[in-house]
Every structure is written in structure tokens, then in C-alpha cells.
Amino acid sequence: MSAVIEEHHHDDHHHGPAKGLMRWVFTTNHKDIGTLYLWFSFIMFLLGGSFALVIRAELFQPGLQIVEPEFFNQLTTMHGLVMVFGAVMPAFVGLANWLVPMMIGAPDMALPRMNNYSFWILPFAFTMLASTFFMEGGAPNFGWTFYAPLSTDQGPPSTTLFIFAVHLMGISSIMGSINVVVTILNLRAPGMTLMQMPLFVWTWLITAYLLIAVMPVLAGVVTMMLMDIHFGTAFFNAGGGGDPVLFQHVFWFFGHPEVYIMILPAFGVVSAIIPTFARKRLFGYPSMVYATSSIAFLSFIVWAHHMFTVGIPLAGELYFMYATMLIAVPTGVKVFNWVATMWGGSMTFETPMLFAIAFVVLFTIGGLSGLMLAIVPADFQYHDTYFVVAHFHYVLVPGSVFSIMAAVYYWLPKWTGNMYNETLGKTHFWLSFIGINVLFFPQHFVGLAGMPRRIPDYALQFADYNMVSTVGAFLFGFSQLLFMFIVIQTIRGGKKATDRVWEGAHGLEWTIPSPAPYHTFSTPPKDLTEAHG
């Protein structure tokens, strides 16, 4: 058996990919694994999205129409888990796999075999997680934040499988991020300094460090839950001397850096796209690097702003409020730099640029509602309302998800060698853009008016905005099928892309042919003037 794999591997090295399905199972090629990650994440995006559509359909009108409240709770939980751990994170890992080696002039990731393992763990983890729907007691129903003792005392029996699935996802993420760090630190083309790296590589380096620091804490907290459920410990059970609030502290110590894990690579993507279509160099490259590092550092010391209402001494509330607001400073630097890059540029508005500009505008809206939530006395009113839902969906969907779509349109011609259909791409953008705002903007209003989150039924005065929201959800959801169509169409054929693809594109990945050959930079590039845009 191993001899056969060896032979395949040998083959790969000289003649391109192996034939058949086994190519994907045994592959150690960073481009293959990047593709696998991206497809996996897209499938999870559709799965998590279909959960969301059932939720929105139920909320179309007050009263209970489609699902039972118990099942509704399972849907909100699984929607969050699948989107965070299955869609957004793997998509960024996929982009890192495809792009980091090409951007730094490396032949592959530093640890190719581990790369294969870290991808192939994921389908097992998510099959296990999704299978809980069919178990007695149903899927986890305590929200994606799985607060104990709700999850440990009152959760369904499938909680144990949920814990194992989280362990597997954690192992996969940790292996993936170790790989990224080792690649970036050791495999840069000779002569490339850290401050010559493209910003996408920088943001991923910092993201990978965040992952390495907090995923083990997540593993720790679910392990404590496992012990509370099965081994009679009382980490989070007050009756046995534990403390439920401890759970929230440990969880959010992981959870807050986690939200930056999902946005920092997006900053990198946008910082690559805007200069290309503004035909200018990125404004303030060093300040971008320092701003990203500051955001990463601050993410470790603000976690309790998720739990202002749990009962924290005044001094603590004040500290966490001001520390949280401090994050607006480096984020403001970034938004300023993107706008300054566009200022006076000769801009064109191809699909990737449209998504990138929408990212800047809509992410800023999400950031501002985050600032509102940071104000302690206001948060007592907003906590656990739809205002919070509107806030984090604005930073995650038109934030992270739009940046992933922008990245796909931007680099797809390099990956496939074909141009996508620009008219369809722009149609997809406008449908998504309108859909997302119709979907999430009204949720600000119902939230401020006091509609709680995670409920299957609501008071009559919220009916109109919820109906609007549901219409937007279906528009956004179904326009993603158009996205899938465009990507498949581009893979199958289309206008041949040039090596440079975009007139204003800079970076080592644009110096190699389109489609990118199976093996690139087997000898390191000599000319690094192209390195960052």
C-alpha cells in the first residue's frame, strides 16, 4: 500500500496530478488541498445557509408555523457552529493554502503531509456533528456558545459527540495554522524580508498565531465540559463548588480572538484587491501591519465585553469597555488606508472590487454597532437582542463572507486559467448586496425595540421588520446558487486569462502562468520587486 502511495507521490512530482479520485485523498499539493478546503467550505456554507433559511421562514410571521421550538433551538446552534467552524474558517485556510506559497515564492507548504491530514479531519468532524440531528434527543440546542451548565446539565445526549467534533475541528485548525506559520517563517524566497510580504500573508501569519494560542483553550473548555458530564467533576456546576461564570470567562477568552481569526485574513484579501483596481500602491503598508498586530494583541484582553450583564465589578466593566473601544483605533487606521488607497486612483469596478468596496462600507457599519455594544450601560439594554445579531452578521457576512467571494473572483482566473463571466459576477454581487442589507439592516431596529435573539416566536410589533428580513434572507440565500454556477462555468471554460489577469495586479502569484501549474517556484524567484502590491 505505502509503495503505491510513494509511486503516486513520485509521479506527482514530475508529471502533474495523479489521475482519479485517489488524487484528492492522498494529495499533498497545496493547490489541491486549497481547492478541497474551498469546496468543503462552500458545501458547509450551503448547509449552514439552509438552516438559516428555515429559521428565517419560521420567523416570517409571529406564531409557530414550520418547526417546533426544540428543533428551532437546534437549528440556531448548528447554523452558528457550521458557519463559524465549517464555512468561514476553512475558506480562509483554503485561500491560505492556495495563495501563501505562491505569494512568498515557495514550492509548497512546509508540512505537506500534515496539510493533507488537517483537511481530511474536517469531513469526519462535520459528519459527526451533523449526524446528531438524527439522534435521540436531537442535535445540540444550547446555542453555538454552549454556555454551561445549560449544555452540561440540560443538553441532549449528543452533546458528547458535539464535544468530540469540536476537538477534531480544533486539531485540524491547529495543524493548519502551524503549517502556515512554518511556511511563512521558513520558506520565503531568499531575500524576501517580513516587511516585503503581501498583506494577505501578514494577516494570515498573525491569524495563525491567534489560532495556535486560543484553539487549545477551546479544547480545554470542552474537555472540562466532558469531565463535568461524564466524570463527576464540577468545573461549571455550582452545586459541586464550580462556577458557571467561569465557563463564560474561559469560553470568551477563546471566543474573542476567534472573531478576529475570522476577520484578519479578510483584511488581507481586501488589501490585495483595492490597490489592483485603484491602480495605486496600498496606502500605508507598515501602518497596516502594525494595526493588524495591535488588533490581534487587543483581542486577548477584551473578552468580558461579551458578558457585561453577568455581574462584573464596576472597575472591570470600565476597563473592558475602554479596552474594547481602543480596538476602533487600529481598525480606523485600516479603513482610512483603504479609502486613501482609492483616493485619486484610476478605479474600475470589476466584481472583486465591488465586493471589496462593499466590504469596507458594510464592515464599518458592523464595527460601529460593535462600538455601541461596547458601551456598558447601553449594552445592558442591547444584550441578547437582535441588535447583537445584526452587529455580528454585519461583520461576518458582508465582512468575512464578502471578502472570501471577492477573493474567489479575484484569483479564480489564476486558479483555473479562465475568466469568469463579468455580467453574471456583477449580477451576483448586486443580488447579494441588496439581499444582505434587506436581511440584516431591519434587525438593528427590532433589536433596539427589544426583540430577544434565539426565539422561534415573537411579539406582534416586530412582525413587519421580520417579514422584510426573511425576504432579504431568501434573496441572499438563493443568489449563492448563481455564485456556484459562475464558479463551475469558469472551471469548465471561458475566455483565457492572461498571466497578469488584472492590469494593476502586483505580487509573485501574477508572474506565473495562468492556470497556475501544478508545481510552482520549484526554484525560488530571483526578482522580488513584484513581491507586494
| Binding-site ranges for another protein (CB under 8 A) | 107-108, 110-112, 153-154, 174, 178, 181-182, 185-187, 212-221, 224, 232, 234-235, 237-240, 243, 245-246, 249-250, 253, 311-313, 316, 522
CB of 13: closest distance to another protein in angstroms?
9
Is the Cβ of residue 305 or residue 506 nearer to another protein in the bound state? 305
Is 258 catalytic? The answer is: yes
Which of 422, 362, 371 lies closest to 396 in space, CA to CA? 362
Which residues have C-beta within 8 Å of that of residue 518, sequence separation ≥ 6? 12, 16, 17, 29, 31
Q: Which residue number, 137 or 284, has a Cβ lying nearer to another protein?
A: 137
C-beta of 85 vs 338, nearer to another protein? 85
Distances from the Cα of 521 to the Cαs of 4, 75, 178, 220, in angstroms? 27, 45, 22, 40
Among 34, 134, 41, 13, residue whose Cα is nearest residue 480: 41
Cell numbers that stand for 489 in this block = 462555468
Between CA 342 and CA 278 the distance in angstroms is 5
- Number of neighbours of residue 244 by Cβ within 10 angstroms: 17
Conformational region of residue 7, where left means phi above 0, alpha means psi within -120 to 50, and beta covers everything else: alpha
Shortest gap between Cβ of 261 and another protein (angstroms)?
14
Q: Compute the least distance from the CB of residue 158 to another protein, in Å.
A: 20
369 catalytic residue (yes or no): no
Catalytic, out of 177, 203, 331, 479: 331
Catalytic site residue from 12, 32, 58, 258 = 258
Catalytic residue list contains 532? no
Catalytic site includes residue 260:
yes
172 annotated active-site: yes
Annotation says 151 is catalytic: no
Looking at beta carbons only, is 419 or 512 nearer to another protein? Answer: 512
**Residue 50 annotated in active site:** no
| Catalytic, out of 30, 256, 444, 506 | 256
**CB of 249 or CB of 383, closer to another protein:** 249
Alpha-carbon Rg for the chain, nearest whole angstrom, is: 23
Q: In this structure, what C-alpha cell is assigned to residue 240?
A: 459541586
Catalytic residue among 118, 132, 173, 416: 173
In terms of Cα–Cα distance, which of 187, 182, 181 is closest to 203? 181
306 catalytic, yes or no?
yes
State yes or no: is 79 an active-site residue: yes
* Residue of 152, 271, 400, 514 with catalytic role: 271
Residue with cell 462556577: 243
HSE-up (13 A, CA, CB side) for residue 391: 21
Nearer to another protein among residue 221 and residue 261 (C-beta): 221
In the block, which residue shows the cell 498571466?
499
Is 15 marked active-site? no
- How many CB atoms lie under 10 A from the CB of residue 6? 10
Least distance to another protein, CB of residue 418, Å? 30
Least distance from another protein to the Cβ atom of residue 267, Å: 23
Report the nearest approach of another protein to the CB of residue 182 (Å).
Answer: 5
Which amino acid type is present at position 311? G
Distance CA(90)–CA(420), nearest Å, equals: 23
Catalytic residues: 79, 108, 144, 172-173, 256, 258, 260, 271, 305-306, 331, 334, 453
